[in-house]
Amino acid sequence: MSGAFRIIPITSGLQQAAGDYRALDIERNYLDTLPDGLGRPLRDLRISVTDRCNLRCPYCMPREKFDAGHMHLAHADILTFEEIERLARLFILLGVKKIRLTGGEPLLRRGIERLVEKLARLQTAEGQPLEIALTTNAVLLARKARALKDAGLGRVTVSLDGLSDATFRRMSDSGVAVTTVLEGIAAAQAAGLGPVKVNMVVKRGMNEHEIVPMAEHFRHSGIVLRFIEFMDVGSSNGWRMDDVVPAKETLDLIAARFPIEQIEPGHRSEVAERWRYADGGGEIGVIASVTQAFCHECTRARLSTDGKLYTCLFAGEGGDLRALLRQGESDRVLTNLIADTWSRRTDRYSQLRNVATGEAVQPARRIEMSYIGG
């Protein structure tokens, strides 16, 4: 671990421990060598900017739970853009080089372009531009793509779980037409938000018949299509191992139609296994977090809409940074608390679940994907 800072043990939670850091003399430059308990560096920060969404995908926000009576976070409870920017600066000191905005549906956050503009001004510890990305369902993307690009957004990832209206409406539990999403993707490409990536969550009995049509549609388009195994995030999506379509099965289906060959990952923490069409038709990926867990390479921290820090998508508890922000704690205190939390991180939920051959090792409390971001 870098000698640029030291860690004081925390035994009674973030807020109670804040006092342990107030007199600590730390250097401003943390370098970027902050490993967690398993040696993984902090490189990526996912920020959920809203817990609201205009779709009701059953694997994320099933309508039976997130219906009209669901209590979303009050506006006063969510982080302001200024609070997000301040925390982002501190995470960058600890090695973060990429920030992804998520939700809920992040384009529902009013003035999201202003947040992008604030974040795009930041630089990494080495003085390089910070990578800013956003994940969206693209329902509002056609009208916002150009403004997002002008604000400094680098690229977008779009969620699309089927090409036919029947499949898409079943997977999104909405009346939105597929053409709306495709128009959003086209607008993102035209604006230069690329390369655009499209994520398809595959659930057996729901949309696996669309794997090959999706591959065929996005071949030669410049878009990277990625297939994601249905995951047991949260406690309301009714996950069963039987509903998972393994990545190998997906690749076999595509290879039977279009010959493919594996390519090297772009960087160590990349979660998608990359493949390309042998005829030069482009690239696809598979994210096999159930059947081929990649926890050992995870470099992501997550900031919830109301300012809680989570170190895993499958976490049960998060540290309340918002409370510390609003009670006036210094950057010194906040940075050392974040550093301590990361240095103690030993999360490897998917590997433990994989070892148990599908028997999920459930924490006492499960955080929903719509709250923490996908």
Q: What percent of the chain has pLDDT over 90?
A: 65
Q: Which of 9-23, 70-84, 88-102 has the lowest mean pLDDT?
A: 9-23
> Reading across the β-sheet that carries 260-262, which strands appear in turn?
260-262, 273-277, 283-287, 224-229, 197-202, 155-159, 131-136, 98-102, 44-48, 300-303, 308-310, 319-320
The predicted-structure confidence for 126-151, as pLDDT tens digits, reads as follows 899 999 999 999 999 999 999 999 99
The predicted-structure confidence for 307-355, as pLDDT tens digits, reads as follows 999 998 877 788 999 999 999 999 999 999 999 999 999 877 666 765 5
Q: What are the CA-CA distances from residue 138 to residues 174, 344, 359 (Å)?
A: 14, 37, 34
Domains of the chain: 14-372 (3.20.20.70)
Write down the pLDDT at residue 269.
61
- Predicted TM-score (pTM) of the model is 0.88
Strand ranges (DSSP E) for 24-168? Answer: 44-48, 98-102, 131-136, 155-159
The predicted-structure confidence for 25-80, as pLDDT tens digits, reads as follows 444 445 557 898 989 999 999 999 999 999 988 888 888 888 777 788 999 999 99
DSSP 35: B
What phi and psi values does residue 279 have, to the nearest 5 degrees? -90, 10
Decide if pLDDT at 271 tops 80. Answer: no
Write down the pLDDT at residue 42.
94
Q: What percent of the chain has pLDDT over 70?
A: 84
Query: Could you report how far apart the first and last alpha carbons of the chain are, in Å?
Result: 29
What phi and psi values does residue 314 have, to the nearest 5 degrees? -100, 20
Distance of alpha carbon 106 from alpha carbon 79, whole angstroms: 13
Please give the structure tokens belonging to residue 166.
Answer: 């029947």
Please give the structure tokens belonging to residue 139.
Answer: 């329902």
- pLDDT band at residue 240 under the 50/70/90 scheme: confident
The predicted-structure confidence for 204-223, as pLDDT tens digits, reads as follows 999 999 999 999 999 999 99
Sign of the Cα torsion 147, 149, 151, 155 reads: positive
- pLDDT band at residue 359 under the 50/70/90 scheme: low
Write down the pLDDT at residue 318.
87
Mean pLDDT of the chain: 86
Write down the pLDDT at residue 364.
52
Q: Which amino acid is at 230?
A: F
Write down the pLDDT at residue 260.
97
